[in-house]
Amino acid sequence: MNKRMQEDERMTYIDLDQSEHDVYRGTGWALAQFDNDELVATHYLLGDYDLKDAEAGDDEIQTATKAAVKFCKGRQNLWLGMMSSYQFCNPEPFKPGYTPHIARIARLIGESLYSE
């Protein structure tokens, strides 16, 4: 995927190819899976979970974080970044079992849900 990354004075980004537009669903923080440098799946941190799936005592942040972790199971070559205008912006490698990465997505979800 590094071959596709571009950089300008504002950020690092990947322009999505026409063939990848079917997995793009608008602007938002997302986990993205790439296979042979092609975007094959996305999980938007906000929107790709259902509160009816919440376990007893879970709040929305916990439910959304658990849905993101579930998306990651069995997947490789995952990246975290912002989807916007058919670009994947500021992509960072994401390791599903690495606690600081899971904490980062929980923080991003909380900031997105509760920021004013």
Average pLDDT for 25-42: 95
Domain count, the chain: 1
- Can you say how many angstroms the Cα of residue 80 is from the centroid of all Cα atoms in its chain? 5
Residue 116 pLDDT exceeds 60: no
Distance CA 3, CA 80 (A): 17
Q: Percent of the chain having pLDDT more than 70?
A: 97
pLDDT tens for each residue of 45-77: 998 888 877 777 778 889 999 999 999 999 999
Residue 30 belongs to what domain range? 2-114
pTM of the model: 0.90
Distance CA 93, CA 70 (A): 17
Residue 95 pLDDT exceeds 90: yes
pLDDT at position 44: 96
